[in-house]
Structures are given as structure tokens and as C-alpha cells.
Amino acid sequence: MATIVDVAREAGVSVATVSRVMNNSVIVSAEKRELVYAAMKKVGYIPSERVKGKQKGEIKTILIFTAIFVHDFLASCSSQLFELGYEVLIHPMVGREGEWEEGKETLKRHLERNLTGVILYHLPVIHDREFVDLLNQTKVIQVGACCSLKENYVISTDNRRMVFEAVTHLLEQGRRRVALLMTKSLVNTWEYIDLRERGYMDALWQYNLPRDEKLKFDCGFSVKEAYIATRDQILTTSPRPDAIFCMNDMLATGCMAALFDAGVQIPEEIAVMGVDNGFSSPYLPVALSTIDQQETILGMDIVRFLDEIITGVITQGRTIYTPHRMIYRTSTEGKTAGRFFEYK
């Protein structure tokens, strides 16, 4: 069955443009409108009953508060919501001064317009009580827990489990001094950071290895800070680690750059692994082993989850874990792995 994504691809426009055409938006040019109608006919797209209802004036709005912009997630989530007849609005929460006040104003404004639901995508822990009270007035699903609501619906990858599997992989290769490069100062800000640290510790415990605090290295949340921490802290440690697990691919990029500049062979001397499977991960000078959280699948799952909450199919809070995938490339496997090699 054809979807709104198929229509957008055939017409050569964005999913948002197709949605605007279906909503009779005046901001779409006549030319693009004709392209969309022609594409709908060609691929055999039939709007769902919900979309038809929306075209008649029934507006169902989903508000997404996000701290990070992951294309695969937002594209998948938005297209699925459009397909079900929801209007999607995105409000960034990226550390700007006064953004919690802005967020509350956005919530209040749309609650007055019969807001249908809210998605909280990897937000830091919410300490603002008024913000939480406003969220309790609608249906909310969290990607990674960031607050406690009357009904807690949470969907996430199993951060603790996936890091346990990644560090176990390093240990199975004979690595015994596995360092952790993390943003320790942010542990109380994002729940997943603490869970990933626990997964790292679990793997060491499984192998009866000392959980050495001296092998945990704190840095900020940028490539530059990871580079400096690797150069000034990890590489000056004696004895050196023989592997480094990085909290995400961004930190792994800075880490590997510092190792490269210091003449350290990856993975012969020090293996490196990250999390995210970012677009650049296979194309780094040494292809990065990483964990794919499968954001496209997450986007589809969260829409199904939220829709069932809104329609009353699910009425009690719960936590759902989505699948992850381990991808082992040159940075842990050596030259035989290749850029796109992965373990199923």
C-alpha cells in the first residue's frame, strides 16, 4: 500500500509539502500542488479516513520537544504522524537562555487549541514543576525518561544493555584496560548517560575486572573537548588503555583524531567504539565501530505507541525498548572488517 513517503518521493517534494497539499494549505504553489496530485494518482495513494477528517477541518496536533535533531528519527516520526492525519510541530530545546519559559508558552498556547499529544525526544531532566503540570494536561510519550508524569509512557533503546554488549565485545578480543570517555558532568541532566556508564561497569564485572575509576574520563559534549581529553588525559595515563568506549560517535571522532595525531595505531594499539552510527562513522580515516539505535524504527514505533495512547488502546503507563544493532568496523576489527562490515 502506497504511503505519503511514496507520494513525496514520486513528486520530488518533501513529506511536509505533501501534507500541506492534503491540508489545503495556501502556502503551496499551484505547480507543486499539481505534482503532488499527479504523484498520488500514479502511486495509488489513498488518504486514510483520519486524513480525510483532517481535510474537513479536524486538526490534531502533535508537539515534539527535542534537544537533538536526528534526521532519521524526525523524518520517520513526522511522515508516520502525517500519514495518520496529525499535524506536527517541532520545538527545539537546545540550551538557549529562557527556553523552558518559551516551552511553557508553546504548551499553553496549543493546549488552548486542543493539543492532541506531546513527544519529548531526549530532553534533559525537567525540573520545572509548571512545565510538568502542563504536560499532565495532555497525552505524553517520552523518548528516554526526563520527568515523572501521572502516566509515564516511555520508549527507548536499552542503553545499559547495548553498552554492556559493546564493551563485552572489546573484552572478548582480549582488551583488558577499557577506558570510558563520557560527559560525567551531565549525568544528572540526561538519564541515558548514567545508564550507559552502568552498562560499561556491568561488562567489567562480568569479566571479573576491577572497575577502575581512573579509566573513566570526563569531557564536554563536543569533538574538540573529546580531542583534548584524549590527548591530555587518556594518552598520559600509565599504563595506557588498550580500548576506549566513547559515549557517542561525536566524542569518538575527537578521540580518534587525538590518537591519530599522536601516532597511535587504531585498533592495533587502542581500539575505539562509539554510539549512534552517525552518517560520518563509516567514512572516518579509520571506520568507526558503533551501535546503531535504529532511529527510523524508533520513529515508527513511537508513533504507533502514541496513537494507541491517544485512541485509548493503551491506558496504563509502561516502558518499551526498541532494538539496537551492533556494527563492528575497522576501529575494533582491524583492516579485514571494511567500512560497512557488521555483526548480525
Domain CATH number, residue 23: 1.10.260.40
**How many helices (H) does the chain have, and how many strands (E)?**
13, 12
φ, ψ of residue 120 in degrees (nearest 5): -105, 105
Identify the domain containing residue 199 by its residue range: 159-289+328-333
pLDDT tens, residue order, the chain (344 aa): 677 778 888 888 877 677 667 666 545 677 888 888 898 888 888 766 555 555 555 678 899 999 888 888 888 888 888 878 888 899 998 777 788 899 999 999 999 887 899 999 988 888 889 999 999 999 999 998 888 999 999 998 899 999 999 999 999 999 999 999 998 765 557 778 889 999 999 999 999 998 888 999 988 888 999 999 999 999 999 999 999 999 999 999 999 999 999 999 999 999 999 999 988 899 998 999 999 988 888 888 898 888 888 888 888 888 889 889 999 999 999 877 666 666 54
Question: Is there a single domain that holds both residue 1 and residue 100?
Answer: no
Are residues 87 and 110 both part of a single domain?
yes
Does residue 259 lie in a domain region?
A: yes
- 145 and 95 assigned to the same domain: yes
Single pTM value for the model: 0.76
d(C-alpha 11, C-alpha 17), whole Å:
10
For residue 270, give the C-alpha cell.
587502542
Q: Are residues 255 and 164 in the same domain?
A: yes
Q: Which amino acid is at 39?
A: A
Same-domain pairing of 127 and 170: no
181 and 135 in a single domain? The answer is no
Task: Report DSSP letters for 306-325, one per residue.
Answer: HHHHHTTS--S-EEEEEP-E
CB 287 within 8 A of CB 338: yes
340: in domain: no
Establish if 278 belongs to a structural domain: yes
The CA angle 165-171-175, to the nearest 5 degrees, is 145
Closest CA to 190 of 126, 242, 137: 126
Residues 211 and 264 reside in one and the same domain: yes
In a domain, 72, yes or no: yes
User: Can you read off the three cell numbers belonging to residue 344?
Assistant: 548480525
82 with 97, same domain: the answer is: yes
Please report whether residue 74 resides in a domain. yes
CATH of the domain at 146: 3.40.50.720
Cell numbers at 136, concatenated: 499532565
